[in-house]
Structure formats: structure tokens, C-alpha cells
A and B are shown apart, each in its own frame.
Chain A
Amino acid sequence: MIELASLSTAALHLPAILGEGAHAVTIPSAIASPEFAWAGLILLLPAISAALCGLCAAFGVKSKLPGAITAISLIAAFATTLSLYLKMPADAPRVVHLFDWIDFSWKTGGATWTQFLAPFSLYIDSLTLLWMLFVTGLGSLIAIYATEYMEADTGKGYARFFGSVSIFLFAMGSLVMGGNLILLYLGWEGVGLASYLLIGYYYNRPSAVAAAKKAFIMNRIGDLGLALGVFLIWINYGTLEYDGIFKALAHTADPASGASWSAAMIPYCLMLGAFGKSAQIPLFVWLPDAMEGPTPVSALIHAATMVTAGLYLIARTYPLFALEPHALTVVAIVGCSTAFVAATIGMAQYDIKRVMAYSTVSQLGYMFLGLGVGTTFGAVYHVFTHAFFKALLFLCCGAIMHGMAGQLDLRKMSGLRNVKGFGVISWTFLIGCLCLAGFPFTAGFFSKDSIIAQAFASGNPTFVTLGWLALLTAFLTAYYTFRVWFRVCGGPTKYEPGDEMHGHDDHGHDHGNGHGHGHGHDDHGHGHAAHGNHEWHPHGPRLAINGVLLVICLGAVLAAVPAYMAMRGEANWVETMVQHSSAALPSAEHGHGGEHAHHALSFTGIEDVHKATSVVASTVGILGILIAAYFHLLNRSAADKLRQALLSNSLTRWLPLAMENKWYVDEVYHVVFRFPASVLGHVFHFIDKHVIDGFVVNGGARVPLEVGRLFQPLYNGALQGYAATMAGGIALIAAWVFWIWLHGS
């Protein structure tokens, strides 16, 4: 880092909020590398796969061919990414120009020409590679998982599903790898489209359609911000290529001199886009509803990859955020409050997928907090670890749902660890929960810890407050995570199958006796319930699902490795990756704690703020797990009693109600935005129907009609009638023409 800084010709100043150790950082200018043109395969393969899936749908393929195509092409894309990572020198970003896309020029006064250039090029630095590694890796794993998961839809929506997944991977690739903001925008809209298609996959279910529309519209609001941000960047810096923007920043930006308002607006606009895509306050309500989609989609798009696009955007344009003094503070506050609010909602949900959805929102909030308080490493590391363990958790939920005929209510399942065929699910689920809860020495623990620690370490009072809130959220997270696990996997074995009403994945299973999957019987057998419906048996997953669960579980565990390497004094791999990218920061974190002997956590007696945070956070996490164990494993009736007690007291009854009803955010939005918009829409509809259509259009159309009716008697079929009209017209026109000619106009 120091070397990079000293290499720089013009330093990029970071504002004081990043800490006193903030040094100048310059992003090295990109090197054009046509030799890496094969990196375009990462985009091309999913695109080809999408096209082939489309062909499969067109020809009505009844086999699992689309799934195989998608899985193979995504694995190939992952392999390409991996080899790109291995071959790419880390010295400077590489720009790979694939082909000219948008290129036009216009004259702006005199002889100067303004050029608008957006080539289809890739900007590859370590941040790109990091992102693409887990995007393509998890993408291929989840595609394999989905080949089994979606098998009930084979021949119906199968090709549609995998086509959409391929489109998503292509769009995500262009979002992350694109060399300019236009390409990013293309990918941004592309992932939005794929998300819409996949949430609304069960299009004959009204709730899925509503959720898809909600996600799409919420994202449009954010996209407006992104579009405005892109426009403002063009206006202020005259280029949309990352390389060009960073160069322009290095040459012109000086935070001391007041930047123009339009430049100051850029980070806020981009932020709005990021909040929309990453489901932060105020645009977070779409993500829980997005769970209407098939579970692999929830795991891939709505937990691991797409929702981190907002993080990627901010990390990629971090220098722009660093210029505006308050932008990052806003990001931190929004992120932290989202984390807290979502965690409180998650505590009170019974649908395990919804709990996971709220935990995603909450964890995304952590990531934004990390970006805001100035640890891009922490944020990106949390993205990285979260991608694994949250995908794992979702896939476990999906596997449970798959086996339990769509059952998702945690009150109706218990002790699944003892059900035959659900062992792998239960134990991988446990590992995912440990990571999410921040149990010491798991991947989630390290990444979350680095964020909270940076909040305390910054010394900024706002950030310290946020840090306390984040700690509280960590406690809540541990509680609600293990509430789910203890309820579902712990305790006595007891379950009932889901019904059509509750089933989030319509498998076409005939509950009751339709569980005639020969494969399921022969290969795995099924847990035979001691009690419950004798004609119905849950069926455990087969090789594809179990294998993928194990692999991702391994990934979630191994995601902690970089942190262990850092503990051993070696470079943290993720940190290295981040520091070699545009999200690089002065490495103030480590040499920093000592200077703050009196940090907020001094009461622990540990001087290094990181160590102190680790201790406090792990204590809090374990405390949360223990409380969850008491309420949901040892004494399950206590939870209901507590709820009843809270509800009976008029002073506290708002709390469980608000939490169960998601803080009434949807209702508030309904009243504040949707209702006025609806009224306005009716008003405009009335105006359109009666004023525009009725008066202007139809009235205008009636004028010639009436005039025509007036003159209709002229057209009586008598030759001379027509002749008189014609001759009179000619005479009048001639009179007019002669008058103008002879007497002037």
C-alpha cells in the first residue's frame, strides 16, 4: 500500500472521517491487455447457455438438458475466472477491450468534438476477480443444486429457469467486469430483469407475481439514482470509464476546494442505486418478498450475488464517495440501522426462508456499515464470507422445503437432525448458522468483527454509536439464527408436511400419497415419522443437493482461512485483493489500534480495539445462542409465554406486534406512497378518460364528423353539384392567389 501510494503522481486525498492515518491513495492507471481477451468467455459462456436454454424451450426439450448446459457453462466460466485470477499480474488493473459498443461524437461549439465512448471492455482488478470468483463459483454450485431441486418442473419451466439463471450470470458478469458505468448499468438492469423473471417464476401464483413486481419497481427507484449518478459523472468528469474517472479524480479532485453541487450529488445518487439493489432502508422491503422465487434463486441472487451489487458499486466508486465528507457517514448510518431493523423483524418471523431473507438484509447492512466506517476490506470480506454461508443456509432451507413438501414454518418442524436423509442438511445448516451468528473462529465472526472493530477504532462518535448498535444487532442475529436451528433441527422429532398454501416451491407433489419418487425411495430412503401422517414421508435430498451443500459448507468454513493467515502474520488474501483495487484504503486498521488506548471498549481491559471487539462480539454471540437455546430448545413454551406477557401489557404490546408485522413498513409505504399515487393515478385516469380522450381526442374527432355532416348534402351524386363545389373552390383560391400577387399579402 505504501508502495502504491509513493508510486502515485497525484495523490487522492481521503477525508478526515477515515481516520488520522488516512494517507493519499492513488489507483494505478489501467494497462490495456488484449492478451486477456479470453476473459470475455466469462461473459460469453452464460450468454451462450441462455441462448441454448431458449432453444431448448423453443423445441420443448423434456429432459434435464437445460440444467446440464447451464451447469457446464457456469463451471467453465468459473474455471476461466480461476485461470484469469492465476494469470493476472497484481500490479495494476487491466482493461480488456472486447469490441466497440457505443461510440459517437458531436460538435460542441467551434471545432471541438465531444466523444461519448462506452466500449464493451472489461476492467479487471483484484476486486473484480474476487467478486467474479465467488459469483461464478457459487453460481455453478447452485446450478448443480438446482438441476435436482427443479426436477419436478422438467419440461415445463425448467428451460425457463435455467435460461434466466444464465441471463443473470451474464448480467452479473457485465456488472462486475464491465470497464465502464454504462456496461455496469447494463448488467445492473440485466440482473434486475433476471431477478424479476425468477421471483415471478411461479407466475400462476398471485403472491409471486406481486413480489416480482414489487422487486422490480423498488429496484427502478434505486436505478433512477444510479442513472442520475452516471449522468452526473459524465457531466463532471467527461468519461464513464473507471480508468478515466480515477485519472480525472487524481488530477482534479481536491476535497478542500468546494466541489460543485453536481459533483457532490454523485455519491448520494449512486448510494440510492446501491440501496435499492442491496435492499437497504428505505428500499429493503422487496427482498423478503423475493423469497417467492425458487430457493436456489434466493440463495444465488437474493443472498449471495445480486444483492451485493450495491456493495460492489460503492466499492468500485469508492474514491468518489471519499470525496464527499458526509456520503460515507450516510452509508454507515443507513447500513447499521438496516442491520438492526431487519434483525428485529427476523426475530419474530416463523417462515424460515423469511428469517433468512431478513438476515440477508441485516448482513448487507453490516457490509454498508463497513464501507461507511472506512473498512472496505471488512465489507468485502463480509460479502465474501456471507456469500458462502448465506447461500449454504438458503440451500439448506430449500432442501428442507424440498423434502418436507414445501413446509417452511418453524413451528411445524422439529428435530430434523434425527430424520433419515436430513443429517447432511442439519449439520451443514448448523455450520451456516454458526457463521451467521458470528460464533468465534468462524468466517462470519472474522468478517463481522473487522467491521465492528473499525467502527470503534475510527474514534468518530457517530461511528462508535453505530458500533454499539452493531454489537446489539450481532446479539440479535445470534439469537434469531439459532432460534431457527434449534426449532427446526433440534428438539424432539416432529413434523407435518407443507400444504399448497404455504408451499413456496410448487413441486407438483401430490401431498399425501403422491410421494412416489422411485429414486427417492431406493437411494436414500426416508425418515419415517413416529407420529404424524402415516401416508406421507419426508424424503431426503439426493447426491446433487447433498454434494453441493457439503461443498458450499466447506467453502463457508474455508472462507475463514484468510483471517487465520492474517493472524499468523501473513497477508490476508482478501485484504490484499481489496487493497489492489479501486476500493483501496490507506491501511490504517492495524497500526491504528494502539494509538487509541481509550477506545470505546476499554472496559474490557484490552488495549487493541480489534482484540477487544473480538472478545465482546464473541461474548455477545454466544450469549445470543444461549438465550435461543433456552427459549427454543430447552423450554419452548417460555417463548410463547414471553410473547403473551408482552402482548398482555399495554405498554409493551407494540413490540412483538411491530416485529411480527415488519415494523409496518409495507403499510407505511402503502399509506405514504402507494395510496397517494393510487389517488393521483385515478385522478389522472379520470382526466385522461374524460378530458383528454373524451374532450380533446373524441371531441376533435367529432369536429370533422360534424363538418362532414354539414357538407354531406353537397355529395348528392349530381355531377354539377360536384362541379359547382370544385369550380367555386378554384375560383376562391384563384381570387386569393391573385389578390396576394397583385395587392401584396
Chain B
Amino acid sequence: MTENLRDRGMDCALYSSYSSPIATVTLLEAAPAVSPALALTVAAAISAAGLAMLMQPGRRGLRLAGTVIGLAGFAMLMVEVLKRATAGAPEGGFPPVFPVIFGFLAMVGAVRMITSPRPVFAALYFILVVIATAGMFLLLGAEFMAFALVIVYAGAILITYMFVLMLAQQSPVAGEGDAWYDRVPREAISAVIVGFVMLATLGDAYFSPAAQRFRDDTSIVSARAGEQAAWQRLESMPKLLLETARKAEPKTAAVVSTNFDELSNRSKNATLKVTLDDGTSKDIALDAALLPENSRQVGVDLVSRYPAGLEIAGVVLLMALFGAVILARKQIELGEDERRGIAGMRRLTVDGEAGGSR
């Protein structure tokens, strides 16, 4: 598997086999008589049914059955999806362990989060989801975002949530249990149906043979274009370029010229023309592995391609800061009716007519 991965990562020739429509078709023919889209849909339906059963409060047996059915549905989904991407993987090979583990964790965390009657537990399960997702990010080569996610989400946002939860929610009094609105989901069935339609749609859009083919076809070109763009972004940063050149050829004195144009249309590496210490010039081929590491690329991309977005993000955060300050300063003056309500007395007016008397 490792060998295979390296080949795929480095060798452009492998792209074609990876994305060959013929390979896909063969795979489909190898699959059982059930049509692939139908199989995905059925799997999604099974998991939805499991989830719907899980959301029935107070029936332990049903919830247990829902757990089993939901897991089965998830397993079916995973298998279906992984079957579609076995090109290049050894026949009957071992399924990718890390994605499955992280995916399972994320799924379990998400389901528990929306079914747990205790808001604090829900928030904790959300942290589990965040960590699993961060693992996925790592697998996808986005290590900066993985750590940023854990730091920002788990470290900052979720803490805020916890604070608010603790502020708003008194700890359950013994015997009284959780608040009823946390225990009883509203319109669970219709919500699950909507979610199922969304899941089936997304699954179809991601994994139907046509979508797969489309993705494969475009990914070859755009992957090469992406690598080219990554190289070209270096041109505006001579110091980094020189550093990269020195990685390939330690004796480089200066970069004379770059040649990244052929990368997009031919299976060639990026090349550099450099002068060496001894004054001789030399063409060096640059491997994709020599590109700057992920966090550097993200930073370069952020400031060079999306400066306006960066500014706007800053403004959004500033405005959120102002908004939070103003909201926090706002004193609520409760009307008589609301004070009665809080004091546990019967309200004088119906909700709709009372209005916020402030």
C-alpha cells in the first residue's frame, strides 16, 4: 500500500490508470447485480432508518436496534464507497485503515451529538467529531488546517459553547432529569427524511459513476495545474525559490530562470536554470516533493491569492467582536408578564399577544 501510494503520488503516468473510465466500468461490472446508485441509496436509507430509531427517546431496545442498524448502514456506505476507489489498490487488498477509523469516529460522534439528551455531552461529542475530522485533514495532507481546527474549534469555540451551556443550563436536579426539550426531539421522522434526501443527493453527486468519471477526468488536468500554480507562486518569492533550488542542488548560487510552463501540458517536471557556486549554470528538475510544506503554502496562497478575502475575514471578526460587546451590554428589561412567567406564575397573556414589553 505504501509503495503504491508513493507511486501514485509521484508518477504522473499512474493518473491515467487511476482515472481510467474503463477501470471504473470494470469495477461496476464486478459489483453485484444491484445498480451502484441504488446500493448507495439503500445504504443511506438504512442508516437513516437506524438514526430515526436512535432518536426515539426512552425506548432502550429500539435505540439499541437503531444503533445496530445505523452501524450496518454506515458499514454498507463505507464499503460501497471504498469499492469505487480500489483502482491502484491491490486486488482484495486491505482497506485503508486510518480513513475508516477516523470516519467511524466522526460518524459516531456526530450521531451521538444529535441524539444525546445532555447538551454538555453533545458538545463533548462534537469535540470528538472535530478531532476525527482533524485526523481526516491530516490524511488529506492538510496538516496546518488539522491543527488549526483543533486549536480554534476544540480549543476556543467549543469552550465558548460550554460556557454558555453552563450559564444557561442548570445541572439536572436529581429525579427531574434533563429538560424535556432536550429529551424529546421534534419531528424526528421528517427531519431524518430531509437529511436522508440530502445525504442521498450528496452521495449521488460524489459517488455515482458519472460523478466519479467527471471528477477523475478533471482532476488530472487540475492536479497538474495545481502543481504548476504552486510552483509559479514561488516565482514571486525569490528567497523561497532559492531555498527550494538548494534543496535539489545544494551548490546553487542563484536562480537564473524558471520553466514551469511545460508542467501543465506534458508530463514533465518543473525545471530551474541555476548558476552554481563555481559559476557554471545547470538545469535542475524539481520534484513535487520539493514544494514548500503545507503551512507555508497555505500562508502564501492566503496572502497572495486572497488578500481581499483575508481583509474581509478580519472585518467580519471585528464586527462580531463589536456585536458581541453590544449584545453583552444590553440590559433586558423584563415586562411584568415575563417576570410573572419567570417567577412561575401563570402568564396573563398568550405568547403571541404578549409581545416583548420592554
Interface residues of B in 300-349 (CB under 8 A from A): none
Which chain A residues (321-376) contact chain B, with CB distance < 8 Å?
none
Does B208 contact A720, Cβ atoms closer than 8 Å? no
* Complex partner residue of A728 from B197, B200, B208, B211, CB under 8 angstroms: B197
CB of A742 within 8 Å of the partner chain: yes
| Per-residue interface assignment for chain A, residues 164 to 208, with 1 indicating a CB less than 8 Å from any chain B CB and 0 otherwise | 000000000000000000000000000000000000000000000
Residue of B nearest to A734 (CB): B201
A530 adjacent to chain B (CB < 8 Å):
no
Name the distance in Å between B271's Cβ and chain A's nearest Cβ: 39
In the complex, are the beta carbons of B197 and A718 less than 8 A apart? no
**What is the CB-to-nearest-CB distance from B30 to chain A, in angstroms, rounded to a whole number?**
21
CA distance A731 to B202 in the complex (A): 9
Residue contact B201 to A738, C-beta cutoff 8 Å: yes
Contact at B204–A720, with CB atoms within 8 Å? no
A721 to B190, CA, bound (A): 10
- Knowing A742-B208, A742-B210, A742-B211 touch, does A735 contact B190 (C-beta < 8 A)? no
Q: Which residues of B contact A731 (CB under 8 A)?
A: 194, 197-198, 201
Interface string of A727-742 (1 = CB under 8 A from B): 1101110110011001
Which residues of the other chain, B, contact A732 by a CB distance below 8 angstroms? 197
B205 and A738 form a contact (CB under 8 A)? yes
A728 touches B210 (CB 8 A): no
Chain A stretch 140-180: residues in CB contact (< 8 A) with chain B: none
Is B38 located at the chain interface by the 8 A CB criterion? Answer: no
Given A742-B208, A742-B211, A743-B210: A724 in contact with B201 (beta carbons within 8 A):
no
| Docked complex: B16-73 residues within 8 A CB-CB of A | none
The interface bits of chain B over 187-204 (1 if a CB of A lies within 8 angstroms of the residue's CB, else 0) are 100110110011011001
B186 at the interface (CB under 8 A from A): yes
How many angstroms between the C-alpha atoms of A730 and B198 in the bound complex? Answer: 8
CA of A728 to CA of B190 in the docked complex: distance in angstroms? 9
The residue in B186, B197, B201, B208 that gathers the most chain A C-beta atoms within 10 A of its C-beta is: B201
Q: Which residues of B contact A738 (CB under 8 A)?
A: 201, 204-205, 211
Known contacts A742-B208, A742-B210, A742-B211, A735 near B187 by CB under 8 Å: no
Instruction: State the CA gap A728–B191 with chains docked (Å).
Output: 9
The interface residues of chain B lying within 8 Å CB-to-CB of A742 are 204-205, 208, 210-211, 214
Determine if A739 and B204 form an interchain contact, defined as CB atoms under 8 angstroms apart.
yes
Interchain CA distance A735-B210 in the complex, whole Å = 14
Q: Which B residues are CB-close (under 8 A) to A724?
A: 187, 190-191, 194
Cross-chain contact A727 with B205 (CB below 8 angstroms): no
Question: What is the predominant secondary structure among interface residues of chain A facing chain B?
Answer: helix
Is A727 within 8 A of B194, CB to CB?
yes
With A718-B186, A720-B186, A724-B187 as given contacts, are A735 and B194 in contact (CB-CB < 8 Å)?
A: no
Kindly provide the distance from the CB of A35 to the nearest chain B CB, expressed in whole angstroms: 73
Are the C-beta atoms of A720 and B187 separated by less than 8 Å?
yes
What are the residues of chain A within 8 A of B211 when measuring CB–CB?
Answer: 738, 742
Q: Which of A704-738 contact B (CB under 8 A)?
A: 718, 720-721, 724, 727-728, 730-732, 734-735, 738
**Given A727-B194, A727-B198, A728-B194 in contact, is the A735-B186 Cβ separation under 8 Å?**
no
Q: Which A residues lie within 8 Å of B198 (CB)?
A: 727, 730-731, 734
Nearest Cβ on chain B to A716's Cβ, whole angstroms: 11
| A735 and B201 within 8 A (CB) | yes
Contact with A along B209-251 (1 / 0, CB 8 A): 0110010000000000000000000000000000000000000
Give Cα distance in the complex from A739 to B201, angstroms: 9
Contact with B along A7-44 (1 / 0, CB 8 A): 00000000000000000000000000000000000000
Identify the closest chain A residue to B205 (Cβ). A738
Cβ–Cβ < 8 Å partners of B210 in chain A: 742-743
Whole-angstrom distance from the CB of B345 to the nearest CB of chain A? 24
Question: What residues on A are CB-neighbors of B214 within 8 Å?
Answer: 742
Contact B208 A735 (CB under 8 A): no
- A300 CB to nearest B CB, Å: 74
Provide the residues of chain A in CB contact with B200, threshold 8 Å: 735
CA–CA, A739 to B200, complex, Å? 11
Which has the most chain B C-beta neighbours within 10 Å: A727, A730, A738?
A738
Per-position 1/0 for A538-582, Cβ under 8 A of B: 000000000000000000000000000000000000000000000
- Give complex CA distance A721, B208 in Å: 31
Per the 8 Å Cβ criterion, residues 477-524 of A in contact with B are none
For the complex, give the distance between the alpha carbons of A743 and B191 in Å: 27
User: Would you give the 0/1 interface string for A618-661, flagging 1 where the beta carbon is closer than 8 Å to chain B?
Assistant: 00000000000000000000000000000000000000000000
Among residues of B, the one whose C-beta sits closest to the C-beta of A725 is B194
The chain A residues found within 8 Å of chain B, CB to CB, are 718, 720-721, 724, 727-728, 730-732, 734-735, 738-739, 742-743
What are 5 A-B pairs at a CB distance below 8 A?
A724-B190, A727-B194, A728-B193, A735-B197, A738-B205
B interface residues, Cβ below 8 angstroms from A: 186-187, 190-191, 193-194, 197-198, 200-201, 204-205, 208, 210-211, 214
Q: Which 4 A-B pairs have the closest CB atoms?
A: A742-B210, A731-B197, A735-B201, A731-B198
With A724-B187, A731-B201 known, 14 other A-B pairs at CB within 8 A are A718-B186, A720-B186, A720-B191, A721-B187, A724-B194, A727-B198, A734-B198, A735-B197, A735-B201, A735-B204, A738-B211, A742-B204, A742-B210, A742-B211
